[in-house]
Amino acid sequence: IFFRVSSHAAVNVLMGGCCCKKPQGFVDLDNAAAAAEGQEMSPVSIEGLRKQVQSLEKGRQREVEALQRQLQGEKEESSNAQQKLQLEITQLQTQIAHTQDSLRLLKASPQSDSVAQQVYIARRQMLEAFTCALSHWRARTLMHETLLLWQQWLQQRRALALTVCETRQDIQQRAVQSLEVMARHARIRTCYQTWFSWNHQHRRARVRAALTSSPRVLQVSTHKAVRLTVDSKFKFGSPDPYAALLTQHSTIHTAVQKGTYNPEWEETHLLALDAGVTVFAVEIYNRGGRSDTMLARQDVLFGELPAERDVELTIPLKVRHHNEWVDSQDTMLYLTLKARGPGWV
């Protein structure tokens, strides 16, 4: 009976390789993750990282396939060796049983046979050899189980590494999206600030141009309006009134007062007037959701005003009554006029 020593040597070599060194192409994921945590990955490197992970995964897949083929060959070889050992052990046990029967017969007989005893001893040694081979086969099976556990651990580590890479990519993509949203908000805020600054400068420039081009500048202080009325078909709660000052060249609006019939604005504006103009219009509107509704209006006649002196006016307004504008004795507007510029002298 021959026992293949080459398989036993291959088992020892494979066991030593599994216990002493890692397979070629193995990456220490703990050290790689620790090194990657200290570095910030730019959005540009996402595609490169994806390609690197794909190439690493392909290499590891080839490595796993090679290990699987090796394991399959070892399993087949172990299965054949196990069957052969079991068959030989069964035959040897049968022969030992026959030998023991023969020895019992010899002991019972008056003559002893030394040849039968030698055969029994030889077969006993063969049984011990096969028992040792069976223990080696069991160690080899344990090695296969250890190798399978190591392969499962390696697959779990690879899945964990891929999950970490995908999580980092997701975090980077969300960071890029957040930066894009912040940049868009910054552009909107910059545009709004630019428009607000331009509008403010434009209004100041328009006033300066009016002061330089026209010597007649009228300072109008809009104080308040009392007892405004709203036509029944336009009445939906309290109005939100604001006043508009109209001249030949410009229209100036006051702020909107929320929910009141007696708005108080207390605002001062400058009106540039042409020579000979002695009138400007005042209109009061209700700020609506889709359109504004006019509540009252009146033309303010000021005539010749004393220079640099305040002139207080209380003006009755015209209100809407059945689609007609009629003078009201209750709805009043309070203004203060002041002549500015050399054109009033």
Number of Cβ within a 10 Å radius of residue 54: 10
Q: Do 300 and 170 lie in a common domain?
A: no
Domain boundary among 184, 201, 235: 184
For residue range 265-314, what is the model confidence (pLDDT) as tens digits? 999 998 888 777 889 999 999 988 778 889 999 999 887 777 778 889 99
Q: Does residue 209 fall inside a structural domain?
A: no
Residue 318, token pair as written in the block: 């015209």
Q: Are 60 and 180 in a shared domain?
A: yes
| Paired sense of beta strands 279-286 and 251-253, if any | unpaired
Question: In the numeric block, which tokens belong to residue 47?
Answer: 């595609």
Q: What is the pLDDT of residues 6-18, one digit of tens each?
A: 444 443 433 444 4
Residue 198, domain member (yes or no): no
Phi, then psi, of 269 in degrees rounded to 5: -135, 160
Evaluate if pTM is beyond 0.85. Answer: no
Residue 41 inside a domain? The answer is yes
- Of 322, 268, 326, whose CA–CA distance to 296 is shortest? 326
> Residue 162: pLDDT above 80?
yes
Domain that holds residue 288: 215-344
Q: Are 237 and 102 part of one and the same domain?
A: no
In a domain, 326, yes or no: yes
For 179: left if phi > 0, alpha if psi spans -120 to 50, otherwise beta; the answer is alpha
33 belongs to a structural domain? yes
The CATH number assigned to the domain holding 248 equals: 2.60.40.150
Residue 248: the pLDDT is 80
Domain boundary among 184, 205, 227: 184
Is residue 205 domain-resident?
no
Same domain as 51, residue 97: yes
Nearest 5°: CA angle at 225, between 219 and 230?
135
CA 269 to CA 286: how far, in whole Å? Answer: 20
177 & 260 share domain: no
The pLDDT of residue 201 is 67
- Residue 110 CB coordination number (10 Å): 5
Residues linked to residue 241 through DSSP beta bridges, in sequence order:
286
Task: Write the CA distances from 87 to 82, 83, 90, 139, integer angstroms.
Answer: 9, 6, 5, 19
Domain count within the chain: 2
Residues 175 and 225 in one domain: no
> Of 184, 205, 237, which one is at a domain's C-terminal end?
184
Gap between the Cα atoms of 95 and 85, Å rounded: 15
240 and 322 part of one domain:
yes
Indicate whether 129 and 27 sit together in one domain.
Answer: yes
pLDDT, tens digit, 9 for 90 and up, residues 170-198: 888 888 878 778 877 777 777 766 766 76
- Asked whether residue 111 is domain-assigned, the answer is yes
Rounded CA separation 84/78 (Å): 10
Q: For the chain, how big is the Rg over CA atoms in Å?
A: 52
Q: For residue 343, what are the CA distances in angstroms to 90, 277, 300?
A: 134, 11, 19
Same-domain status, 158 and 256: no
Per-residue pLDDT of 92-102, as tens digits, reads: 778 777 777 76
CA 107, 112, 118, 123 torsion: positive or negative?
negative
Residue that the structure tokens 């086969």 belong to = 137
- What's the average model confidence in pLDDT over 229-255? 80
Strands 251-253 and 264-273, by their bridges, are unpaired
- Residue % of the chain over a pLDDT of 90: 16
How many CB atoms lie under 10 A from the CB of residue 222? 24
One domain for residues 151 and 282: no
Shared domain for 32 and 171, answered yes or no, is yes
